[in-house]
Amino acid sequence: MNSVIQILKEYWGYSSFRPLQEEIINSVLNGNDTVALLPTGGGKSLCYQLPGLANEGLCIVISPLIALMSDQVKQLKNKGIKALHLSGGLSFEEVRTLLDNAIYGNYSFLYLSPERLQQEMVQEAIRQMNVNLIAVDEAHCISQWGNDFRPAYKNITLLRSLHPLVPFIALTATATPEVIEDTIAELQLEAPRVFKESFYRPNLAFKTYKAEDKLYQVEKLLGDKENTAIVYVRSRSKTIEVSRQLNSMGISATYYHGGISAASKKDRLQAWMDGKVSTIVATNAFGMGIDNPGVRFVIHLQIPESIESYFQEAGRAGRDGMFAEAVLLYNDFDKQLVQKQFVDSLAGEKDLAAVYRKLVNYFQIPYGEGEYSSHSFNFTEFCKTYNLPSTLTFNALNTLDRLGILQLSKQFGQRSTLRFLVSSEQLLTYFERDTGISILGKTILRVYGGIFETATPINISLLASKLSRSTDFVIAGLKQMEKDAVAEVQIYDTDAVITFIIPREDEKAIYRLAGDVETLNKRKRQQVALLLSYIENNKECKSLQLLGYFGETTGVACGICSVCIKKQGANVKTDEKVVAREVLQLVSIAPMSSRTIVENLTFTESEILKVLQALLDAKRLGITEKNEYYLK
């Protein structure tokens, strides 16, 4: 056994551990089954990676997150650590080769999805491996009460029979006491040592505000500051739209979502990390593995799907221990939208059976075949072919993924992007060289605006239709423009990749899991109801609400959340004469809108609006056609 501090310094460059890491690592090294409950940014991966290196043999890591597995394997390789993972879409021979490498190739880590454990070939190979540790990431997925219940996680107990003396470590960032208890039972952990870091964040102010003009509120938060911020939205198109709007307000911003190229992701992330742009507008694809301790604001412009998701995303603010704010802005439409997206469009048993049957027919998979076959998948085309409602179908595919029937790469809405790199005059001169390029280029200019300023999503099928040409013609033209350095092009032929985990069974596959379907749907309805209750509860400290959800009872209000601030303000009544004097003095300089007045005074918006109305009634103020107040 090598010194844990020596390994920490050699591979990670640190000389000390974060809270609880050392205790967790020592528990694992002492051969104990261990449960590690650490919040976002608490350094969970090190709790199994370091013991995996310290002991001779191989650490098997079970994770449901394909992108995260791939990213972690890449990071380990960059450190000179031998690691591999079994991704979807591999042939039988490719899987066999990777398993042989794991057995004989002196590897330290093997990452697997829980679905892979269904394969007898994988089980037999694991039996032959010198396994030193089994790490179960996102362990709450095994609990039917967990945020991301996945029935395939129940396969993990196979590893206990294959290697009965090897310790388990179960890791999660968000789990209630009920989920932890259920996870221990389901994983058959023996007298586990449980380590739980408090979720209390004394430096993080949780705030929820009802707001019709959300961007105005964002401008108030970020406009006069250069603080690092993350703004979360729910769609890729929204990231682009909000990023543009923030830049127009003078807030330096870029956008990030799963559909942009790896190079663009890297460049945008680096620009944000280096402070070249202060704000990154992102979908929930942004965050895993991102370590920027100096984030001062995390702002949600749309309602997340659960308290677990919200707490994890909000928790990316203030990891350096300095004061930070997690602000959720919502309105009545948002509440209706989250209900429609996550409750009203839940896929029931019959819906799942119908979508599954259409999928296997769509890919022409014979009955009893198709296990671990992968297929390029265009979500929009699939829905159009069978006249399926997109939201219900999207939810059905996610449920089929969680049930372990298929594996879905979540890249919906991913489109090709284009940005011209030269001026419009130079571009028109370039078009004169080739008639085909000219027709394509001028059509793009007519259809898409702003294509000189930023990478713009384009629809290749739409362009082909307008030109009465094939998509191959459009793609060839785009590639030629990129080759000639007049455009930056990113081409995507499909929306996603689907890998079927089990052979085609039609309805049998669904009906066998009917109970799990109802459990998933019931849990989703509860999650949405609990999150809406949190948002609308303006009587109890926001921090205490969140801590109570995760089973902590401190009994001490934070003093900095939206509820606590409002209570403090209610105890201090401002003299209206003072407000009126300040307002009159301000508008004597120049006519001003109510928004400008609010921005320039320290009183609450409601206090100022009340005084403005009183001054109008008293004819001390007038109002112009532009809704600006002036001194009479």
3-state secondary structure of 45: coil
pLDDT of residue 408: 80
Q: Is the pLDDT of residue 560 over 80?
A: yes
Per-residue pLDDT tens digits for 55-64: 999 999 999 8
Same domain? For 213 and 97 the reply is no
| pLDDT at 176 > cutoff 50 | yes
Neighbours of 617 (CB within 10 A): 9
Integer Cα distance of 492 and 323 in angstroms: 41
Can you point out the beta strands (E) in 251-369?
Answer: 253-256, 279-282, 297-300, 324-330
Which residue, chain included where needed, has tokens 């679905």? 115
571 within some domain = no
Tokens of 92: 């039988």
**532 lies in some domain:** no
Distance CA 424, CA 66 (A): 42
Residue 371, domain CATH: 1.10.10.10
Distance CA 411, CA 391 (A): 15
Mean pLDDT, the chain, integer: 87
More confident residue, 33 or 576: 33
Q: Which of 149, 188, 186 is nearest to 513 (CA)?
A: 149
Q: Out of 196, 227, 258, pick the residue that ends a domain.
A: 196
pLDDT of residue 412: 44
Tens of pLDDT along 84-105? 998 766 778 888 999 999 999 9
Phi, psi of 395 (to 5 degrees): -65, -35
* Cβ atoms of residues 231 and 299 within 8 Å: yes
pLDDT band per the 50, 70, 90 thresholds, residue 144: confident
Rounded CA-CA distance 574/551 in Å is 39
| pLDDT 10s digits, 449-508 | 778 877 787 878 778 878 888 777 888 899 899 999 999 887 765 657 788 888 998 778
28 falls within a domain: yes
Q: In this predicted model, what pLDDT tens digit does every residue of 12-35 receive, in sequence order?
A: 988 889 889 999 999 999 999 999
Burial of 589 (0-12, 13-18, 19+ CB in 10 A): exposed
State the pLDDT at residue 119: 86
At 572 the pLDDT is 53
Number of folded domains in the chain?
Answer: 5
Of 148, 161, 118, 153, the closest CA to residue 136 belongs to 153
Residue tagged 């995303």 (tokens): 313
Q: Give the pLDDT confidence score for residue 43 in this predicted structure.
A: 84
| CA dist 416 → 423, 495, 563 (Å) | 21, 10, 44
Q: Cα–Cα distance between 485 and 405 in angstroms, integer?
A: 44
- Residue that terminates a domain, selected from 153, 168, 196: 196
Q: Domain boundary at 171, 196, 221, which?
A: 196
The predicted model scores a pTM of: 0.69
| 164 found inside a domain | yes
Confidence of residue 206 (pLDDT cuts 50, 70, 90): very high
CATH code of the domain covering residue 89? 3.40.50.300
Q: Is 530 helix (H, G, I), strand (E, B) or coil?
A: helix
Q: Name the pLDDT band for 569 (thresholds 50, 70, 90).
A: low
Whether residue 250 lies inside any domain: the answer is yes
Question: Cα separation of 274 and 276, whole Å?
Answer: 6
pLDDT of residue 413: 45
Q: How confident is the model at residue 195 (pLDDT cuts 50, 70, 90)?
A: very high
Instruction: Find the DSSP H helices in 363-491.
Output: 379-386, 390-402, 424-431, 435-447, 460-467, 471-483
Question: 212 and 309 in one domain?
Answer: yes
| Same domain as 361, residue 305 | no
> Residues of the chain with pLDDT > 70: what percent?
94
Per-residue pLDDT, averaged over 533-561, amounts to 90
pLDDT at residue 198 in the model: 86
Is 297 found in the same domain as 233?
yes
Can you give the residue range of the structural domain that contains 613? 576-631
